[in-house]
Amino acid sequence: MNLTLQDKRALITGGSRGIGAAIVKRLARDGAHVALTYVSKPDQANETLKAAQASGVKALAIQADSADAKAVVAAVERTVAELGGIDILVNNAGIAVMAPIEDYRLEDFDRHLAVNLRGVFVATQAAVKHMKAGGRIINIGSCNAERMPFAGGAVYAMSKAGLVGLVKGLARDLGQRGITINNVQPGPVDTDMNPADSDFANVLKQLMALPRYGTADEIAAMVAYLAGPAAGFVTGASLTIDGGFTA
């Protein structure tokens, strides 16, 4: 077992399923104690917790909607209290509502900004108050920040592109403290929300250099790299893992 993160303390937002759950399990396998947030479906959150605990680490689940700033701050504070600190923050929680601009609801626009951007900022602001040198902040962005090849995705792409600027700026704020911050930008990944065997997936595969979907474990591996000691000189970056979607 590769315990590159032994006794580190990590919070993963939106960590109950999909990419988030894969990240929780990978960081736990690498030795980190983990906390995750979820909005609904506590059964899924508990399943992910059990999988993390099987690696012999502490794990807890916290119900918190990333659109609720007070809930996000409370989740960070509970992580610090129960795990004894925080060394790694993975801002994974996100939403995607696609629609033509003529039909796009303003409430969906606002929720995109609240979850995909403001929630990331709030969690980061709360976490860095407790982080020491060597701290890691990793945002799960999207390759759609670089390329949006179909109609209806403008607001989602905008919200993920905003993370690029946020990370570049915060790298300057946090660098003197020895804290790194980066984006991971996945392409199409096989999850319950975007299965690799759907008609939509068949369209996306035609746009990729590698004609397959990625796996959640592949995304988690890049997160684990950024969270670990080997990535100490990487900050302010947006690292794309998309099978050549943006090539």
For residue 111, the SS3 value is helix
Burial 118-141 (b: 16+ CB within 10 A, else e): bbbbbbbebbbebbeeebbbbbbb
For residue 66, the SS3 value is coil
Give the whole-angstrom CA distance, residue 133 versus residue 78: 21
114: DSSP letter: I
Per the CB < 8 A criterion, the answer to whether 173 and 125 are in contact is no
Q: Which of 38, 104, 156, 225 is catalytic?
A: 156
Per the CB < 8 A criterion, the answer to whether 87 and 9 are in contact is yes
Residue type, 121: F
Residue 156 annotated to the active site: yes
C-alpha angle 96-99-102 in degrees, rounded to nearest 5 = 140
Per the CB < 8 A criterion, the answer to whether 115 and 67 are in contact is yes
Does the CA dihedral 58-18-206-198 come out positive or negative? positive
Residue type, 17: R
Catalytic residues: 156
